[in-house]
Amino acid sequence: MSSHAPRRSRRWRRTALALISGGVLATALLQPTSPATADDPLPYQDPSLPTAQRVADLLGRMSLAEKIGQMTQAERIDVDADTSLITDNYLGSVLSGGGSVPDPNTPEAWADMVDRYQEAALATPLGIPLLYGVDSVHGHGNLQGATVFPHNIGLGATRDPALVEKIGHITAEETRATGPQWAFAPCICVARDDRWGRTYESYGETPQLVESMETSIDGLQGKPGQLDRSDHVLASAKHFAGDGLTSYDESAAGTGAYPIDQGIDRVSRAEFARLALAPYVPAVKKHHVGTVMPSFSSTDFNGGDTDDAVKMHANQELITGWLKEQQGFEGFVISDWRAIRQLPGTYAEQVEASVNAGVDMFMEPIQAPNNPDGWDVFIPTLTQLVEDGDVSMDRIDDAVSRILTAKFELGLFEHPLTDRTHLDQVGSKAHHQVARRAASESQVLLRNQQRTLPLKSHQDVYVAGSNADNIGNQAGGWTLTWQGGSTNVIPGTTILDGIEQAAHGKVVYSEDASARIPRGSAGVVVVGETPYAEGFGDVGGPQWAYDPGDNGVPRPEQTMQLSDADTQAVKTVCARTVSCTVLVVSGRPMIIPPGLLNQIDALVASWLPGSEGAGVADVLYGRRPFTGKLPVTWPRSVAQEPINIGDKHYHPLYRYGFGLSTRR
């Protein structure tokens, strides 16, 4: 879209549809279907024309195959060896799944890769550029060398919307400089049960807190009319709607199914509107988010059997009725990873239900474990549905016009190849300074007996615990790979690094606290979770190596617990040091038993601080004050879950919004 184009509105939508169905479309049908010369551009190639007119002109020139191609998203592995697949199938979009990266995984290689795919898209008769999406959920995390920020739960603890907007802008700058123009972020879910394995993707447990953090959309996209700039990307509000509101399904234990992730919202319509739909109102009307991604979860407003539940990818009432019609959402809806395949019926019935529900683009990768097919069957399936009259051309045209509008607004028709202006800013010192500040502001001080914190810089320190010197653990999931990993190494500092930089006294480190503890030392034990992305979350090991309960499925009591090794390290250090500070590096609250808590002088919720553990040390040593507040309620036991502010019987270990300060 030209930078002079006005912000879209519902009037714009009516204008576009009128142009499509009226004279402009009729005129366009008489035009040649191949691009004109630079000296004599076709209307859709003319940036001086209004976006609606350009969309209508281009849509009128497109065949059904070209339109369905625009609705199709493949994974990069599907097309990397043969980019002619992009050209021959008119593919409208490609994505990188978690860990799907070029070799080498460098900024330049990313830009070269995306441009290679883009050139294949431009080789189609109409030269419609490709839209490339990536999971930049806490920085451009797939890229080795990108700046990795705290995950959303930590950002919610900052209560700092301006900082969150800044982080969004840096993420956009680093993402677009390396090729992708679209971030599958932010997650604007309201996490209501900390047993959910994606709690860390939520800014917090109240809609008000989540809505205040939606400044991330502004950071990613810029102000209306700025999307075509080289430091902005298309954002995606997800997961619509109610992914954080699912009920824990006790009956699923032992079945191999996720007992809460991708589950069912068994609530009233009023509660669903208050907790699930509310964040999407400002996302659409105030922040003008460009895309929305439906959830894997289902709704059941009757509170009955699972058979009554409606999967969000087939929920026409909410996607078309509430989101598009009532809220006036004019962007496009992108399905989640092969999510339509969880709908009932045959594949044709799944495609039909989802398209008619209002999903506009379909993430249908082939290259995934045990996937025999993907976009290659989606295209002929949807084609047949249109030819049989099960999906109308009006629905196809609406979906494609929304997708084309985003591409025009991104400026891809004028500048399809990667603008590498900001390539040298990827992982820059200035960006890491913001990450360090974010890590500091995200720390929540829960306990501080005898003013243990801030530590005195001249004091000797004994550091222990599994997460003290592990940058993979402190970065969490969606870092280099889908699940993240304890062995993943990214540029930055661990918490131990930060302590060693801040301390003027002697620093002794022993992960398991087996090394001798010098007399008079202050103890710092960094405990918590290992990385994960979805599912049950951390239950004693990575997502692919559960500490299993029945039939390989973790039991509820296995979640949110400290490991035996971490517990022993806390006991050992707290018994032998002059003071004992425990930092919990995790994607959600962890259970601290009363007997263990009584041994701890200072307790800090460190969340997943990202690439700059030095920011954690900054508050430990008083370089910055503790200012963070709990974004979720901290329970006494797993048995209290779900527990949230406003509950009738509310007796947590630490209340929502709690946080001590060392500000003087």
The domain that holds 618 is classified in CATH as 3.40.50.1700
Q: What share of residues in the chain are helix, strand, coil (percent, to 5)?
A: 40, 10, 50
* pLDDT for the residue numbered 57: 98
Same-domain status, 359 and 491:
no
Clarify whether residues 185 and 330 are in a common domain: yes
pLDDT surpasses 50 at 541: no
Most confident of 248-262, 545-559, 590-604: 590-604
pLDDT tens digit sequence for 192-216: 999 999 999 999 999 999 999 999 9
Q: Is the pLDDT of residue 400 over 70?
A: yes
| 655 falls within a domain | no
Q: Mark whether 80 and 222 lie in a shared domain.
A: yes
Q: Is residue 661 part of a domain?
A: no
Query: So what's the pLDDT on residue 38?
Result: 59
pLDDT tens-place string over residues 494-511: 999 999 999 999 999 999
Local confidence band at 249 (pLDDT 50, 70, 90 cut-offs): confident
The pTM of this model reads: 0.93
The pLDDT-based confidence of 537 (bands split at 50, 70, 90) is: confident
Percentage of the chain lying above the pLDDT 90 cut: 84
Q: What is the pLDDT of residue 385?
A: 98
Q: Which of 20, 41, 56 is the last residue of a domain?
A: 56
- Cα separation, 400 vs 414, whole angstroms: 19
- 659 within some domain: no
Residue 185 lies in a domain: yes
Dihedral angle at the C-alpha atoms of 634, 635, 641, 642, nearest 10 degrees? -40
Of 242, 147, 135, 264, give the one whose Cα is nearest residue 188.
Answer: 242
Confidence (pLDDT) at 568? 98
Shared domain for 115 and 172, answered yes or no, is: yes
**Overall number of domains in the chain:** 3
pLDDT at 252: 60
Contact assessment for residue 203 and residue 168, using Cβ atoms and an 8 Å cutoff: no
pLDDT: which is higher, 374 or 15: 374
Q: What is the pLDDT of residue 245?
A: 96
75 and 206 both lie in a single domain: yes
pLDDT band for position 635 (50/70/90)? very high
Q: Which of 336, 398, 566, 612 is catalytic?
A: 336
Last residue of a domain, one of 394, 424, 454: 424
Closest CA to 563 of 538, 535, 594, 595: 538
Mean pLDDT across the stretch 457-477? Answer: 97
Name residue, tokens 């431009």. 122
Q: Are residues 117 and 17 in the same domain?
A: no
Q: Are 218 and 658 in contact (CB under 8 A)?
A: no
| Host domain of residue 356 | 62-424
- Contact between 434 and 166 under an 8 Å Cβ cutoff? The reply is yes
Q: Is the dihedral of CA 388, 391, 392, 393 positive or negative?
A: negative
Q: How confident is the model at residue 482 (pLDDT cuts 50, 70, 90)?
A: very high
Q: Are 634 and 506 in a shared domain?
A: yes
pLDDT of amino acid 367: 75
Integer Rg of the chain from CA: 25
Residues 279 and 353 in one domain: yes
pLDDT at 557 over 60: no
Give me the sheet containing 291-294, strands edge to edge: 236-240, 291-294, 332-333
pLDDT attached to residue 11 = 41
In this structure, is residue 645 part of a structural domain?
Answer: no
Residues 444 and 329 in one domain: no
Per-residue pLDDT at 260: 86
61 three-state secondary structure:
helix
pLDDT at position 70, please? 99
Mean pLDDT score across all residues of the chain: 91
Query: Who wins on pLDDT, 542 or 332?
Result: 332
Instruction: Tell me the pLDDT tens digit for each residue of 609-625.
Output: 999 999 999 999 999 99
Marked catalytic residue, from 534, 538, 566, 601:
534
The yes-or-no verdict on residue 630 having pLDDT over 80 is yes
Is position 275 within any domain?
Answer: yes
The per-residue pLDDT for 555 is 52
Residue 601 annotated as catalytic: no
Tokens representing residue 324 in the block: 């598009």
Burial of 30: CB neighbours in 10 Å, binned 0-12, 13-18, 19+:
exposed
Domain end point (choices 33, 56, 79): 56
- To the nearest whole percent, how much of the chain has pLDDT over 70? 88
The predicted pLDDT at position 304 comes to 59
Specify the pLDDT at position 617: 98
| pLDDT at residue 9 in the model | 41
The reply to whether 218 belongs to the active site is no
Tens-place pLDDT, residues 426-441 = 999 999 999 999 999 9
Residue whose token pair is 């700025």: 226
| pLDDT computed for residue 308 by the predictor | 79
Could you give the angle at which helices 393-409 and 10-21 cross, rounded to 10 degrees? 120
Tens of pLDDT, residues 641-664: 999 999 999 999 999 999 999 876
Checking phi first, is residue 381 left (phi over 0); if not, alpha (psi -120 to 50) or beta?
alpha
| 453 and 591 both lie in a single domain | yes
- Partnered with residue 54 across adjacent β-strands are none
Please check whether residue 224 lies inside any domain of the structure.
yes
DSSP string, 531-589: P--STT--SSS-TTS----GGGPPPGGGTTB--HHHHHHHHHHHHHSSEEEEEEESSS-
Are 154 and 293 found together in one domain?
yes
The answer to whether position 213 is within a domain reads yes
CATH number for position 88 = 3.20.20.300
Q: What is the pLDDT of residue 172?
A: 98
- Other CB atoms closer than 10 Å to residue 227's CB: what's the count? 24
Q: Are residues 49 and 80 part of one domain?
A: no
Tokens in use for 85? 């697949």
Average pLDDT over residues 300-307: 71
**Dist CA 643 CA 632 (whole Å):** 9
Per-residue pLDDT at 450 exceeds 50: yes
